[in-house]
Chains A and B, each alone.
Chain A
């Protein structure tokens, strides 16, 4: 047992449902007790979804405990099949069904017999995988199912082009891993489509968001797969590589340097693929795969980020301390952007994607002072309190920690609130994404001149000092002159000075803090 107040990644079935409800005309049936269908609430509230979320529950109640689900699951599947005629119905197990150990596969087989839609059992184990891993797995499962189904059908019809999958005449790509309730996924998707379009590459399929399972058989027609996020889509890409020899690109185009790296990778992949194709049937020239000019143009003139990091504004950020904590993709990319593109010092980079710890360490190696891999938010909070960075980049949880410690925070990854589903265009990927990130970073730090003014004029706020330490360690009295002095210290470092002084007082057994103690503490700290 584990004492837990908050979690970064949800339970497995949430990941499965996110993938399923992203597809068009796919219905999920959860084998779950009453009240477990709050996924519908999340989707309806956070995404402000206009349509009914295609998820229903086959309720597990006392009767099911006593006698088993029996006909119930099959009835629910066949009923949904008649009511909504989906292309695919997926039975989704939950934590409850995984301990009941009913033979759900058997129900699925029976229901498949009676219904006109395809019926599958989601292959996820609640106790082994989390939301993100489950999403990755489910996506692969569905792609595999439809490609194998297609293979069988082609064999049956003795189709001659079974072995020879025809590639599209123009260079094309699949985008894997865009899905509902993802962090800024819809905006990222639009930005990636624009990027590919600029490069003269057609978008073959985007899955699962807005995709149809009927079109999955077209996946192998693309020249390559683009997997923008580390967490979801990689398994599918690996499967497609193994089965169809499709190359994939897993460099996240986030930040100027990574975007350029991603585009260069695309170029080399295209060159490789084109060399294996019979050039007469296809519309391309070797020259068209050279994107260096495009990268240069975009970097210098379209994106404002490169110029921003050279501008006077960004100078003020030099060497400022930041902490990054998020999912593996966003935390790694953000760390690199802060360090390489803005000259900010990342004192700690961390992720809650424990399953991807090795990859993460490798990515941020050399870019930060320490690495934190944990899914315990109190550990993250303590780390932030200890390091006292000037800004945070994290999830909603870090935003709240920041609020308590009076440290500004930019939200860069899920878990998220409704405010992270903005109506305006806010991609994190591609060249427009670099602009958005630059704004986010700049607005998170106290603005440059404001900073100076506060320092010179000893702050302009005369509000009372509030204790901002995470742990409530009272026991000190501040004399009036001590408080007055504390108030003279600029707001953004006041908390730090207060904590340092109290630390000093504790070490020296002083209980009343006056100006003298403050000065002594300052001397002791050597600053």
Chain B
């Protein structure tokens, strides 16, 4: 049925025109303001940005969100108004109304073009109104969708407390990672110490729902590895301690700037691992962290096969089916790797931006998975061109296209199954437990069609395949 893999084959990388559809990176405020409970996000942009947030985030806007637009008007653009004074006025108002612990300014395309010096103004204003101000340039000129989170976390990384020199000089045995302030807490830490192996502090980065954070933390705890903190934490005041000798590991593939900042600015060691998406990814992620700390992982194989056995009903549905990723959220490589492991064939992985260094381990695992499963290597298309992709989809007729909402309904009308890619950003897809969730999403269009088709006779099936008028 399939063409056999050439063992010498490697991944093919291509780059197209960049005419593709994705969300603006400012959309990261949607999940970050919910993650960081005491924050307030101020997007400094135009009506266009505001309208996007309002429409993309739908109903969330009505729940008194902790974000707002600083809407630039013509007088701001032509510099008739003083940026600093204007921002001060708005920030004071926010401080009075909401009293957040941190203000995050999101710079947009407009602030870039008019060269508004947000990074310069923030420290001055911060001192004046005594409220921390973090600046992130999450604009559509430079970034796509999830990279917005990357810019925010990279800026946050600078705000994490510094690991004291004394501590890092201290022998690792005496180290107490949660020793920051309260003696009671420190006591607790000492008591629990025995459950963990001796290892340098580990901080994980990437914004995940708190239950998923908990699951991954516990997963590492089983191996005796202690997670000293998360970037971001649930509250701004709980940001993790960083510094020389701290090990960091990412949980999402779009965090390359954050990784760079942690390495270069905060002198942390980066653990380059595949990402904990799918049971295979989670296992590889834990194994990599264990290997860095010289821990021999326990019981991972059984755990993986147990999870995998629990997925049989889904695997039966997708085995041998083909997937096409149009690309818009940088989760594509990890998802493709997982789906190949589940028996699917991936024809194309579109991706907005491919950091081959940060994703190196993930790409290696993808290659290995292709060889293991004996399927052809997918082509990885950076900055794809949607128009060309649609031509390819028409030719290949994949069983499933994972794409943005702009293309879903038109493709469905042409008889092609689609899954809305944004759902993967918002659903819980990390760790062993959530492998099921990914497949739940992937199989939903297939199950829906099965359900509908089972009630149609063959004659109707023929007629229903296309919902578009010819001509």
Where the two chains meet, the residues of A that have a C-beta atom closer than 8 Å to any C-beta of B are 1-7, 10-11, 13-14, 32-38, 40-42, 44-45, 48-53, 56-57, 59-62, 65, 76, 83, 94-96, 99-100, 126-128, 130, 400, 417
Contacts and interface: CB of A to CB of B under 8 A. Distances in A.
Contact of B47 (A7, A35, A48, A59): A7
13 contacts: A2-B70, A2-B73, A4-B71, A11-B47, A38-B55, A44-B409, A50-B413, A52-B410, A60-B141, A94-B48, A95-B109, A95-B110, A400-B62
A1 B87 contact: yes
A60 B110 CA distance: 12
A56 to B, nearest CB: 6
B456 interface: no
Interface in B64-119: 65, 68-74, 76-77, 81, 86-87, 89-90, 93-94, 109-110, 112-114
B11 to A, nearest CB: 25
B54 interface: yes
B273 interface: no
B18 to A, nearest CB: 6
B62 A57 contact: no
Contacts of A56: 19, 387
B387 A33 contact: no
A96 B51 contact: no
A362 B410 CA distance: 45
B24 A10 contact: no
B279 interface: no
Given A49-B410, A95-B46, A1 B141 contact: no
A28 to B, nearest CB: 14
A45 B46 contact: no
Lowest 6 A-B CB distances belong to which pairs?
A35-B24, A33-B140, A40-B406, A50-B413, A11-B47, A127-B74
Contacts of B73: 1-2, 127
Contacts of B405: 41, 44-45
B81 A49 contact: no
A33 B55 contact: no
Given A1-B71, A5-B65, A44 B24 contact: no
B22 A61 contact: no
Interface string B135-148: 00001111111000
B68 A5 contact: yes
Contacts of B141: 33-34, 60-62, 65
Given A33-B141, A56-B19, A59-B19, A10 B404 contact: no
Nearest to B47: A11
Contact of A128 (B74, B86, B142, B410): B74
Interface string B382-398: 00000100100000000
B408 interface: yes
A43 to B, nearest CB: 8
Nearest to B386: A56
Given A1-B72, A3-B94, A33-B141, A126 B406 contact: no
Contacts of B69: 2-5
B68 A36 contact: no
B56 interface: yes
A1 B91 CA distance: 11
Contact of B48 (A76, A95, A128): A95
B285 interface: no
A1 B18 contact: no
B51 A100 contact: no
Contacts of B112: 65
B6 to A, nearest CB: 35
B407 interface: yes
B77 A127 contact: yes
B467 interface: yes
Interface string B418-457: 0000000000000000000000000000000000000000
B139 A33 contact: yes
Given A38-B55, A83-B387, A59 B18 contact: yes
A50 B141 CA distance: 30
Contacts of A417: 58
A11 B54 contact: no
A270 to B, nearest CB: 36
Interface centre among A5, A32, A36 (most CB of B within 10 A): A5
Interface residues of B, number: 63
Given A49-B409, A49-B410, A38 B52 contact: yes
Given A44-B409, A50-B468, A96-B109, A35 B114 contact: no
Contacts of A42: 55
B51 to A, nearest CB: 4
Contacts of A2: 69-71, 73
A10 to B, nearest CB: 4
Nearest to B390: A52
Contacts of A51: 410, 413, 468
Interface string B19-53: 10111111100000000000000001011101110
A61 B143 CA distance: 9
A34 B24 contact: yes
Nearest to A13: B48
Contact of A96 (B110, B390, B407, B409): B110
Contacts of B90: 1, 3
A506 B19 CA distance: 60
Given A35-B22, A126-B46, A14 B87 contact: no
Contacts of A65: 112-113, 141
Nearest to A7: B50
B410 A35 contact: no
Contact of B140 (A13, A36, A76): A36
B44 to A, nearest CB: 8
B406 A5 contact: no
Nearest to A33: B140
Nearest to B139: A33
Contacts of B410: 44, 49-53
Nearest to B148: A35
Contacts of B54: 6-7
A11 B48 contact: yes
Given A3-B68, A38-B23, A61-B141, 8 more contacts: A1-B73, A6-B61, A14-B51, A36-B24, A61-B18, A96-B113, A128-B74, A130-B47
A96 B73 CA distance: 13
A45 B413 CA distance: 13
B420 to A, nearest CB: 10
B143 to A, nearest CB: 8
A51 B142 CA distance: 30
Nearest to B86: A1
Nearest to A14: B51
Interface-central residue, A1, A3, A126, by most chain B CB under 10 Å: A1
Contact of B408 (A36, A44, A60): A44
Contact of B61 (A5, A45, A49, A130): A5
B50 A4 contact: yes
Contact of A1 (B24, B50, B81): B81
B390 to A, nearest CB: 8
B68 A62 contact: no
A34 B140 contact: yes
A60 B139 CA distance: 11
A128 B62 CA distance: 28
Contacts of B468: 50-51
Contacts of A13: 48
B144 A50 contact: no
A23 B343 CA distance: 45
A417 B144 CA distance: 26
Nearest to B387: A83
B145 A35 contact: yes
A126 B49 CA distance: 12
B407 A52 contact: yes
Contacts of A1: 44, 70-73, 76, 81, 86-87, 89-90
Given A42-B55, A96-B113, A11 B72 contact: no
A224 to B, nearest CB: 32
A269 B77 CA distance: 48
A99 B77 contact: yes
